[in-house]
């Protein structure tokens, strides 16, 4: 059971918009901890996609965006492309668990 | 930035293994470093973190008392000593640097640890 809750799967057709939710609690997201998102393509290591809720590292297309409100966060992907098919993980910091990063269980994005 | 893990392999339950992560392309001593693992077909699980100086360490409850994280800043290398290994420790182990805002800008490619008799 992951500390952060994500839907196991989402899907969309090429060109469409999808969102992935990430729900935490008062000891992580609700405590003001930032939310970060990672993309994991099949057979590869995770890659930072969004940091500090809504910031994109250099090289990440602006089709990817993040937001945070209360105890939840969301990742939005617009203009879906086949190469976006991957697992997506949210991550935050839990103030009740010393030093600990907490992750969502991951969401499998399928491009139809 | 380049992070390269090594040391994974097949080990029997109760055995030990030491993982290494060679870092380059950034000032290693200025960054806290973490280990994150991923069991086959499962999600990401944070394992441990060590401060830039090596003076502070933290562990997930699932590995505390069995795993030891350390680093050698003169060699730009991170380590994870894993003792009393269990089947549930089977996973790909990734090393990652840690930004001051508690996220991982960079990840290694991972090394597979399989605990089985």
How does pLDDT run along chain A (112 residues), one tens digit per residue? 899 999 999 999 999 999 999 999 999 999 999 999 999 999 999 999 999 999 999 999 999 999 999 999 999 999 999 999 999 999 999 998 877 899 999 999 999 9
Cβ-defined contact of A100 to B58 (cutoff 8 Å): yes
DSSP one-letter string for A31-65:
GT---EEEEE-TTS--EEEEBTTTBPPTT--TTEE
pLDDT tens track for B54-106: 999 999 999 999 999 999 999 999 999 999 999 999 999 999 999 888 999 99
Report which of residues B17 and A98 the model is more confident about: B17
Q: Which residue of A has its CA nearest to B39?
A: A105
**B101 chain-A contacts, CB cut-off 8 A:** 34, 51-52
Structure tokens at B83: 């003792």
pLDDT band at B42 (very low <50, low <70, confident <90, very high): very high
What would the DSSP string read from start to end of A3-41? SBB--SEEEE-TT--EEEEEE--TTTGGGT---EEEEE-
């Amino acid at each position: 059971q992951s500390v952060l809750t994500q839907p196991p799967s989402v899907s969309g057709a090429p060109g469409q918009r999808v969102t992935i939710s990430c729900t935490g609690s008062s000891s992580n997201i609700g405590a003001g901890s930032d939310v970060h998102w990672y993309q994991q393509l099949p057979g590869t290591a995770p890659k930072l996609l969004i940091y500090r809720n809504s910031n994109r590292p250099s090289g990440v297309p602006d089709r990817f965006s993040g937001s945070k409100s209360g105890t939840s966060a969301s990742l939005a992907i617009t203009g879906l492309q086949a190469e976006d098919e991957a697992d997506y993980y949210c991550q935050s910091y839990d103030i009740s668990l010393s030093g600990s990063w907490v992750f969502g269980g991951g969401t499998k994005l399928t491009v139809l | 930035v380049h992070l390269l893990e090594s040391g994974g392999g097949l080990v029997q339950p109760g055995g030990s293994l030491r993982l290494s992560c060679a870092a380059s392309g950034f000032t290693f001593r200025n960054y806290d470093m973490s280990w994150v693992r991923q069991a086959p077909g499962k999600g990401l699980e944070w394992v441990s973190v060590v401060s830039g100086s090596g003076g502070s360490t933290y562990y997930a409850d699932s590995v505390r008392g069995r795993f030891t994280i350390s680093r050698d800043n003169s060699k730009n290398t991170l380590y994870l000593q894993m003792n009393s290994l269990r089947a549930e420790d089977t996973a790909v182990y990734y090393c990652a640097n840690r930004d001051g805002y508690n996220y991982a800008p960079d990840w290694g490619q991972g090394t597979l640890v399989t605990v089985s008799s």
